[in-house]
Chain A
Amino acid sequence: MFTEARKTVKFVLQYFSANLQSAMEYRGAFISQIVFMFLNDLLLLFFWWVLFTKIDSLNGWSFQHILLLYAVASGAHACQALLFGGSFSLGRTIAEGRLDFYLVLPKPVLLHVLVSRSTTSSWGDLAFSLAIFALAAKPSPGLILGFVALIFTAGVVFTSFTVLAHSLSFWLGLSTGLANQLTEALLSFSLYPEGIFSAATRLVLYTLIPAGFVSYLPVRLLQRFSWPQLGLLILFALGLAALARFVFYRGLKRYESGNLVVTNAAD
C-alpha cells in the first residue's frame, strides 16, 4: 500500500513538472501571466481596504482576518489549478468523449484527468497567497509549512467539489454551465467573511457549498489552532474526495465513447 501511495505521488509530481516545463517554454508569457495575476488578486483587496476605513470590525472580522481569508482562498485555488487543473474542464472531457485517451492507459482514470492540465497564471495566485500570508501573520518557517498544508487540504476540497459538479455531465450531457456556476459559487462564498451570513446560510456553507472548509475553518485554525478543528477539516476533505471519486466512477459506467480522433493537447 505504501509503495502504491509513493507511486501515485511520483506520478502526480511528474505531471506537475511536465506541465511546468511546458508553461515555461514561453518564458515571457509565463512571467507576465504570473505578474498580472498577482496584481489582479491584489486589486481585489481594494474594496475591503475602503470598507475598513469606514468600519472597525465586521461581526468580529478585521481587515487582518480578510487578508488571511484571501491568502487561504487564493492558495487553495492555486493548489487546485496547478496540481489538478484538469478538474476545470472535466465536464467537457466527459461530454465530448475525450476520456478514451485516459481509459486505455494503466493509471487511475480520475487522477490522470485531473493532473493532466495545469493553469499557468495560478502561480500568480500562489505567490499572492504566500505574500499576503507573510504580511498578515508574520509567520515562522514552521507556520509557513503549516499554511502550505492547510491550503493543500482546502485545495482538495475545492477539487473534489469541482469533480462532483462536473461529473453531472455523465447524467445530464454537456452541463459545464451549471458546473461552472456551482464552482463559481464556492469560490465567491470563500472570499467573503462568514460573519455576514445568517445561521441558515452558514449551515449551507458548511455542507452543500463547503466554503466553510475552504476558507473559514482554515482562517480560524490560523488564528487559534485546535486539533479537533484540524481533524474535522482533514476528515471533511478526505470524505469529500472519496465521495467525488465514488460519483465519478459511478458515472463512468454510463460513459459512452464518441470514437473521436483528437490530439490530446492543452487547449
Chain B
Amino acid sequence: MKPVEIHAYLQQKLDKQIEWNEGEKSTGDPWAVIEADGWVDACLVTRDDDQLAFDFLRSLTGTDRPDDGKIEVVAHLWSYSRRHAFVLKTTVDRDAPVLASLTSIWPAAVWYEREIYDLLGIDFSGHPDLRRIMMPNDWVGHPLRKDYTEQADYRGIPTSRPGYATAVPEKVDE
C-alpha cells in the first residue's frame, strides 16, 4: 500500500481522525501524527493487522521542537511481507516528556528508546532497562535538545580548551 492508503486504512481501523502531513513541496516522505496516549495502541495495530503487518522497526528517534514546546518521536516502519513503508509520529510535552514504551511490540525499541532517553530526555514508561547509552550515566543534560549547553567540566576534566576550536562549532553564517 502507498503511505496515503495506509493512512486512510489506519484511520478506519482506529476509528478516529489522524493528522496527515507532507513536506513543503511534497518531496521526501509524508507522515502521520498520533496522539501520545494512543501511541502504543496504534503501533500494535500496525504490527498485528494483516494488511499492514509492520514487523520491522527500521528506526525510532526524536526531534526537538522548542518553538512548539514539543518533542517529536518518529518511527520508521517497514513490512517484509507487504513490502511497504510508513512514518508514524507522536509528540510529547517538552517540559514533562513521558511516553509509553514500544519495547513490548518491537524489541528493537529497547536500544532506540535508550538513545532517545539519553539524547533528548524522554522518559519511556514500561521500558525494561532505561539507562543512558551514549553519554556517561552522570552526564548532565540531553545533547540533542536545541537549547543544550555542554557542562563546563566532567568530573574535573574541562570539556573545552581555551584557544582551540569549540567542541560544537558555531552555526554557519551567510
A and B physically associate: no
Interface residues in chain B, defined as those with a beta carbon under 8 Å from any beta carbon in chain A: none
